[in-house]
């Protein structure tokens, strides 16, 4: 066996001699060379690469780390062992990360021979693996070429000195109707079988083959179209110039047809999956998003109060508040569409709702559109969630605005509908019985063709450009209307405009008084002590501020474990515990049980940015009130005051 070539990076003659003696004593035949500078090491690696490198760590003009950098700059796979007197753990770890195979202390040179044997053995194994891998890849490539070409057209097309087919297999006649002999005589004849739209592409690919396969249309002798996949590779001369291309042509017509069918099925499946996952998406974002909105809306309200109506910056604050309301509406729209926002039907006068949001609607559509509202004062009430009815109107108005980029006329009318809305065959929805109330939104915009009209309520379908529409607006409208047992009808023609007519079952004659807004009376506290449990610091702080402004003493806790400790050992009597529902750590249910068991006179009030079932609410006591985020000051103080009164009643 040939001696092991050792490159010894060492400046000490004595230390070098110790290493050599230790290796020879272990029976390792070696041929060593010693260097002590970077230049000498580089020269040694270039002249005759060693089998292994053994390097001292610290030398006056050189180090193991520098030696490793020199080795890494080459393509050589050479084991590198560090031998040193002493070194810290971090320095040793750094050398190992830099590529050192092992580290041996000079006081433990008995470890060096086994380390050398091991690293030499591993290096030989790596070399063998590379050789085997290269041979395997070559064999696989030859096998692939044979296997793929057996049932396909095999060709070689010469580019130099004159373009011509050197070889093409007989299977070409099935595609073109021409025999190989005909194509050898006139090579351009093969291109006449290619669809005219693809001929230039095919010609270019034969002179400069792309790295990936291309699929083009060819015409068979019977006139049918075939999809042909070509896989070509260049043949180069010693100078690297392409002299020919060779490869295969494969008829993939059946595969293309099947792929198109699969793509359509996959599109439909993705659509279904998007709908299925939307509920999870909505629930997931609602909590965190509504936390953020709670902070924004509350601080904006503080600013509005401080500025007053005449301050120059009041309009900026109002714009922030409007944007926050729009963000809250978007969250609500997602929850409504995915059925995660529970409906809270109430008797409503549709006219009143239209009047209440009239100002917001006018700001939404802009000044370039004429906006007309025509209400029928004789219509009945309907039973529907107010926020959802507002969402219906807003979505239809936003769609109408998008259909009139150059201006136009938008009309909202209310009227009494037919005895049974479902009698209209063009209406969409389950319908109802008895009288109905109709809401109609009409625009003079671009209108819709029949295909677009048929897909108008399809989730995620939008005619707007990228980033301009979610495709949820009309799908949400349809969902709300059908949930309320109503119907929705579309009339639309290109360039003539669009009319949506919604009919909702009547709930009887209107007895609802018109009002501009729902006012919640702000109830102030009288120094009652509130324990506020909220993990989000920003939400906790703004809520504390609202409660303090409302006349309460507030103690905050960032989690329920901390809150329970404050209740049990903090020395305070809390009138109300206000806790978020979805928080890390202790679940809400056991926390509520503990508080109610040990402190039955303390009321519990919940707040949450997620108002649907699940997400921590499914196993909570049904008698607890949940304040939905984002909340305003009046809503929260009203709920706190009610909870405080309930606690006082229990203690009495």
Q: How high is the pLDDT of residue 429?
A: 42
> Three-state SS string across 588-651, please?
HHHHHHHHHHHCCCCEEEEEECCCCCCCCCCCCCCCCCEEECCCCHHHHHHHHHHHHHHHHHHH
DSSP assignments along 186-248, one per residue: -GGGGGGGB-HHHHHHHHHHHHS--SS-EEEEEE-TTS-EEEEEEEEEEEE-TTS-EEEEEEE
CB atoms within 10 A of CB 195: 16
CATH number at residue 13: 3.40.50.2300
One domain for residues 359 and 499: yes
Q: Which helix (H) or strand (E) segment is 167 a member of?
A: strand 164-168
One domain for residues 54 and 186: no
pLDDT tens per residue, range 46-62:
998 999 999 998 888 89
One domain for residues 350 and 490: yes
> Three-state SS string across 356-416, please?
HCHHHHHHHHCCCEEEEEECCCCCCCEEECHHHHHHHHHHHHHHHHHCCCCCEEEEEEEEE
SS3 of residue 57 by DSSP: coil
Residues with Cβ within 8 Å of 218's Cβ and at least 6 positions away in sequence, in order, are 175, 176, 193, 194, 195, 225, 226, 227, 228
One domain for residues 376 and 493: yes
- Is 135 among the domain residues? no
pTM above 0.85, yes or no: no
- Residues of the chain under the 50 pLDDT cut: 147-148, 421-433, 467, 511-518, 613-614
Q: How high is the pLDDT of residue 515?
A: 41
One domain for residues 115 and 155: no
Q: How high is the pLDDT of residue 272?
A: 54
One domain for residues 36 and 76: yes
pLDDT tens per residue, range 119-166:
999 999 998 998 999 888 887 677 556 644 667 898 999 998 889 998
Q: How high is the pLDDT of residue 243?
A: 92
Residue finishing a domain among 190, 221, 251: 251
One domain for residues 94 and 181: no
Could you give the CA distance from residue 308 to residue 136 in angstroms, rounded to a whole number?
81
The total number of structural domains in the chain stands at 4
One domain for residues 493 and 574: no
Q: How high is the pLDDT of residue 84?
A: 86
One domain for residues 635 and 546: yes
Q: Classify residue 66 by burial, with Cβ atoms within 10 Å: 0-12, 13-18, 19+.
A: middle
Q: What is the Cα Rg of the chain in Å?
A: 40
Residue finishing a domain among 251, 276, 297: 251
Any long-range contacts for 38-47 (C-beta under 8 Å, 24+ apart)? 38/62, 38/66, 38/67, 38/70, 41/7, 41/9, 41/67, 41/70, 42/70, 44/7, 45/7, 45/70, 45/71, 45/74, 45/76
One domain for residues 500 and 535: no
Q: How high is the pLDDT of residue 514?
A: 41
Q: How high is the pLDDT of residue 464?
A: 64
One domain for residues 500 and 630: no
Q: Is 541 left (phi over 0), alpha (psi -120 to 50) or beta?
A: alpha
- Is 299 among the domain residues? no
Q: How high is the pLDDT of residue 6?
A: 94
DSSP assignments along 480-522, one per residue: HHHHTT-EEEEEEETTTEEEEEEEEEB-SS--PPP-SSPPPPP
Residue finishing a domain among 233, 251, 269: 251
One domain for residues 46 and 177: no
Q: Copy the structure tokens of residue 418.
A: 């037919």
- Is 146 among the domain residues? no
Containing domain of residue 639, as a range?
Answer: 529-651
């Amino acid at each position: 066996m040939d001696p092991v070539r050792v490159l010894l990076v060492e400046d000490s003659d004595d230390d070098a001699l110790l290493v050599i003696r230790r290796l020879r004593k272990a029976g390792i035949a070696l041929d060593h060379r010693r260097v002590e500078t970077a230049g000498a090491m580089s020269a040694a690696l270039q002249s005759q690469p060693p089998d292994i490198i053994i390097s001292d760590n610290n030398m006056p003009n050189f180090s193991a780390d520098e030696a490793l950098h020199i080795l890494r700059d080459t393509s050589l796979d050479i084991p590198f062992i560090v031998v040193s007197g002493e070194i810290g753990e971090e320095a040793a770890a750094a050398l190992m990360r830099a590529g050192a195979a092992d580290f041996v202390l000079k006081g433990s040179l008995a470890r060096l021979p086994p380390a050398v044997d091991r690293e030499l053995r591993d290096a030989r194994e790596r070399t063998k693996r590379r050789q085997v891998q290269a041979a395997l890849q070559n064999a696989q490539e030859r096998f692939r070429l044979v296997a793929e070409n057996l049932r396909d057209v095999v060709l070689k097309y010469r580019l130099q000195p004159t373009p011509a087919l050197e070889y093409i297999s007989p299977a070409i006649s099935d595609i073109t109707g021409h025999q190989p002999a005909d194509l050898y005589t006139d090579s351009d004849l093969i291109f006449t079988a290619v669809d005219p739209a693809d001929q230039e592409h095919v010609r270019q690919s034969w002179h400069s083959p792309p790295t990936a396969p291309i699929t083009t249309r060819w015409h068979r002798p019977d006139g049918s179209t075939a999809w042909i996949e070509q896989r070509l590779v260049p043949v180069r001369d010693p100078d690297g110039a392409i002299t020919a291309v060779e490869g295969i042509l494969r008829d993939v017509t059946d595969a293309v047809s099947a792929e198109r069918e699969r793509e359509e099925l996959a599109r439909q499946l993705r659509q279904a999956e998007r709908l299925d996952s939307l509920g999870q998406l909505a629930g997931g974002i609602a909590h965190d998003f509504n936390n953020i909105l709670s902070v924004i809306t509350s601080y904006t309200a503080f600013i509005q109060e401080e500025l007053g109506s005449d301050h120059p910056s009041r309009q900026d604050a109002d714009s922030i508040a409007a944007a926050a309301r729009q963000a809250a509406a978007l969250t609500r729209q997602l929850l409504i569409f995915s059925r995660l926002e529970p409906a809270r039907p109430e008797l409503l006068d549709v006219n009143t709702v239209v009047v209440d949001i009239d100002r917001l609607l006018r700001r939404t559509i802009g000044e370039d559109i004429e906006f007309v509202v025509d209400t029928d004062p004789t219509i009945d009430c309907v039973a529907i969630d107010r926020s959802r009815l507002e969402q219906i109107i807003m979505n239809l108005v936003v769609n109408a605005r998008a259909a009139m980029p150059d201006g136009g006329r938008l009309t909202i009318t209310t009227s009494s509908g037919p005895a049974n809305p479902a009698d209209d065959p063009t209406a969409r929805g389950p319908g109802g019985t008895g009288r109905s109330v109709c809401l109609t939104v009409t625009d003079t915009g671009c209108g819709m063709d029949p295909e677009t009209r048929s897909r108008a309520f399809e989730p995620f379908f939008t005619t707007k450009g990228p980033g301009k529409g979610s495709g949820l607006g009309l799908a949400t409208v349809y969902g709300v209307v059908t949930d309320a047992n109503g119907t929705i009808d579309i009339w639309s023609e290109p360039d003539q405009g669009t009319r949506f007519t919604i009919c909702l079952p009547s709930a009887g004659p209107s007895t609802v008084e018109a009002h501009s807004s729902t006012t919640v009376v702000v109830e102030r506290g009288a120094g009652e002590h509130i324990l506020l449990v909220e993990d989000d610091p920003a939400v906790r702080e703004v809520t504390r501020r609202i409660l303090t402004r409302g006349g309460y003493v507030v103690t905050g806790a960032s989690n329920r474990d901390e809150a329970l400790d404050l209740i049990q050992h903090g020395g305070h009597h809390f009138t109300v515990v206000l806790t978020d529902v979805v928080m890390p750590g202790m679940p809400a249910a056991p926390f509520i049980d503990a508080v109610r068991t040990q402190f039955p006179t303390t009321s519990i009030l919940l707040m949450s940015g997620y108002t649907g079932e699940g997400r921590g609410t499914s196993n909570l006591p049904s008698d607890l009130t949940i304040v939905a985020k984002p909340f305003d000051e009046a809503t929260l103080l009203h709920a706190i005051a009610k909870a405080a009164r309930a606690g006082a009643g229990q203690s009495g």
